[in-house]
Amino acid sequence: MKTVCLFSDGSCLNNPGAGGWAYILEYGKHTKEASGAEAMTTNNQMELRAVIEGLKALKEPCEVELYTDSSYVANAINEWLDGWVKKAFKNVKNVPLWQEFLDVSSAHKIRATWVKAHNGHPQNERCDTLAREAATKIRDESDR
């Protein structure tokens, strides 16, 4: 099974508001990055969207080393998700996104690491920049 690094970030201008997400995938000497945006969303939704979109980009089962600046996403993936599923997501926010995560993550072995925001790590900083740019663009488009 191939090992990949997935760096992710989500950003929201106001909460809820215009939000952006971004990911960087690194495997071997290859790098892929992508970003996108949504209106009327939250930071947590954008953080999770970034992870989901990164996983969708994988074409085969992989061991995924995920680096996110969201303790919510990292803790959910590593600790809480099994309990949530057993309780049919009772009292959990963002259920459709977590269900989508389950669908796209099932083929992979994922270990999530929480890194403090703006820690100077180049990939995390790049994701932050891409997510903010996407959020600003969608906000500006909706103001027209």
CB 24, CB 33: distance < 8 Å: yes
Closest CA to 6 of 72, 53, 40: 53
Full strand arrangement of the beta sheet holding 17-27: 30-41, 17-27, 2-14, 62-68, 109-114
Active site residue 121: no
Q: Please tell me the distance from the alpha carbon of residue 25 to that of residue 33, in angstroms, as a whole number.
A: 6
List the catalytic residue out of 9, 19, 36, 54: 9
List the catalytic residue out of 10, 19, 20, 36: 10
List the catalytic residue out of 20, 38, 54, 69: 69
Active site residue 143: no
Residue reference for tokens 């993936």: 77
List the catalytic residue out of 63, 103, 118, 141: 118
Q: In sequence order, what are the residues at sequence separation of 6 or more whose Cβ sits closer than 8 angstroms to the Cβ of residue 117? A: 69, 124, 128
Active site residue 10: yes
List the catalytic residue out of 19, 36, 38, 47: 47
Active site residue 118: yes
Active site residue 82: no
List the catalytic residue out of 36, 108, 128, 143: 128
> Which residues are known catalytic residues?
9-10, 47, 69, 118, 128
